[in-house]
Structures are given as structure tokens and as C-alpha cells.
Amino acid sequence: MTDIIHEPELDHHGEHESTGIENRKLGMWIFLSSEFLFFGALISNYLLYSNRGGFPSPYPAEIYDIPFTSVSSFVLLMSSLTMVLAHNALSRDDQNGARTWLFATAALGSVFLGGQVFEFTDFVVEYGMTLSTNPAASAFYLLTGFHGAHVAIGVIMLLSLWGISRRQGGLSEKHGLNLELVGLYWHFVDIIWIVIFTVVYLLSIPPV
């Protein structure tokens, strides 16, 4: 047994982390790196199809309501701010503040989702652009739809944390980490939206 040393403090599953980053946080980072490629593929997919002309109108780029989407993008951007504030409040052990900001984040996220529902409805009902109108429309709905689904999952996670906090009168250390994880995820979803808004909405021109 010369070289194997008793180290009782290590004799405890999960306490030793070679990188110094908590397992779950590291896991979230790694998972998000995969998500970047997921959205990368969806965005390239849209870009590829958005400039193939000659198929039935309308193309998404012909019917964007940029002012409207700017507002909802701003709302989502603000939700990142409230998320930071929630995290900040928790690190000061201000449980009430954290709870409020969590709820605000979820609310802003819901507003964004509402905007997306409105946008989709508008596109389908007013302009008749459905999944089957042209491949660019298919790609648009697939991309923004998957982003919306990510936002929705984020809202559910935020509300769960908010609920836990309400029921237990605050977030414990474990759930504090959860808040950090949800925060990471939320910022990621936000960043992706900024890319989508820029590339898909602002820079996209309908094919001639």
C-alpha cells in the first residue's frame, strides 16, 4: 500500500473537483456549447434558404415587422438584466429581492413568447405564410420555433425556482446554484436571440 494514501477528506463522492468548477455548472457550460451548434445549424439553414428565390411568396424577409420585433427583443434583453439582478440579490442573501427579480425575468420571458405567438399568428393569418409556403418560411419557423421552445423551458425553470423560493421562504445553497445554472441558460438563450435578430431579421433581404 505504499503509494495509495488514505485521504479521508477525498473519500467522499462528489467533493473533489479537479477543475474547481462545480460539476453541474461545468455540465451546463458543456451542454450549452453543444446548443450553440444546434442553433448554428438552424441559422445557417435559414440563411441558405432565405435567398433562394422563385418560390411562392411571402418570404419571411418580406413581412417582418421590425419595430415590433425590436421591442420584443428589447424585452428579452431586459430579462437578462433582471436575471443578473436576481443572481446579485441572492449573493447578497436578499431572498425577497431574488424572488422578485426571478419573477420579473419569467414575466419578461413570457412577454417575449407572447410576442412570438402574435408574430406567428400574424404571419399565418394576415400574410398566409405557413410552414409549407416556401423553404425559407419552413426554416424561419423551425429556427424561431426552437428558440421559442428554449425560452419556454427557461420560463418554466424560472417559475419553478420562484415557486421553491416562495414555499421555502428562500433559496438554499443548492438552489442558489440552480439559479446560477438557469441564469447561464437564460443568458445563452438571449445571446442566441441577439444573433437571430441581427442575422435573420435585420440583415436578411428577400430574394429578388
Partner 1 sequence: MTATAERPSTTIFRRPRSTEGIWSWITTVDHKKIGIMYGYAAFFFFLLGGIEALLLRIHLAQANSEFLTAGAYNALFTMHGTTMIFLFVMPVSAAFINYMLPLLIGARDVAFPRLNALSWWIFVFGGIFLYSTFIFGTSLAPIGVDGVGGIDGNLPPGGGPGGFNFLADSPDGGWFGYQPNAGPLYSSGTALDFWALGLQILGLASLISSVNFIVTVFNMRAVGMRLLRMPVFAWMATVTSFLLLFSLPIIAVALFMVTFDRQFGTLFFLASEGGDPILWQHLFWLFGHPEVYILILPAMGIVSEVLPVFSKKPLFGYSAVVFAGAAIAFLGFGVWAHHMFASGITPVAQAAFGLATMTIAIPTGIKIFNWLGTMWMGKIRLNTPMLFAIGFVAMFTIGGLSGVTHAIVPSDWQQTDTYYIVAHFHYVLFGGAIFGIFAGLYYWFPKLSGRVMDDRLGKVHFWLMMIGFNLTFAPMHWLGLQGMVRRTWKYAPETGLEPWNVAVSIGAFIIALGILVFMYNWWASRRSGELSGLDPWDARTIEWTIPNPTPEYNFAVAPTVARLDHFWHLKYDEDDEGRAVRKPDADEIISELEYNGLNPATPIHLPAPSYFPVLMALGIPIIAYGIIYHEALWGKIAIAVGALISLSALIGWGIEPLEEPHAADEGEHDEVEAELVATAGEEAVMDVDGEEDDE
Provide the minimum distance between the beta carbon of 146 and partner 1 in the complex, in angstroms, as a whole number. Answer: 8
Provide the minimum distance between the beta carbon of 60 and partner 1 in the complex, in angstroms, as a whole number. Answer: 13
Provide the minimum distance between the beta carbon of 70 and partner 1 in the complex, in angstroms, as a whole number. Answer: 27
Can you give the C-alpha Rg of the chain in angstroms?
21
CB of 8 or CB of 67, closer to partner 1: 8
- Our CA angle for 59, 65, 140, nearest 5°, is 40
CB of 15 or CB of 92, closer to partner 1: 15
Residues at the interface with partner 1 (CB under 8 A): 1-8, 10-19, 21, 23-24, 26-28, 30-31, 33-35, 37-38, 40-42, 45, 48-49, 52, 54-55, 130-132, 134-135, 138-139, 141-142, 146, 157, 160, 168, 172-175, 178, 181-182, 185
Grid-cell match 463522492, residue found: 13
Provide the minimum distance between the beta carbon of 74 and partner 1 in the complex, in angstroms, as a whole number. Answer: 26
Give the integer Cα–Cα distance in Å for 83 and 77.
10
Provide the minimum distance between the beta carbon of 67 and partner 1 in the complex, in angstroms, as a whole number. Answer: 28
CB of 42 or CB of 200, closer to partner 1: 42
Give the integer Cα–Cα distance in Å for 101 and 85.
6
CB of 52 or CB of 96, closer to partner 1: 52
90 residue type, one letter: L
Q: Is 13 left (phi over 0), alpha (psi -120 to 50) or beta?
A: beta
Q: Are 193 and 73 in contact (CB under 8 A)?
A: yes
Instruction: Name the packing angle between helices 95-125 and 135-168 (round to 10°).
Output: 160
- b/e sequence 47-66, b meaning 16+ C-beta within 10 Å: bebbeeeeeeebbbbebbee
Provide the minimum distance between the beta carbon of 171 and partner 1 in the complex, in angstroms, as a whole number. Answer: 10
CB of 72 or CB of 179, closer to partner 1: 179
CB of 96 or CB of 172, closer to partner 1: 172
| Strands of 69-111, DSSP E | none
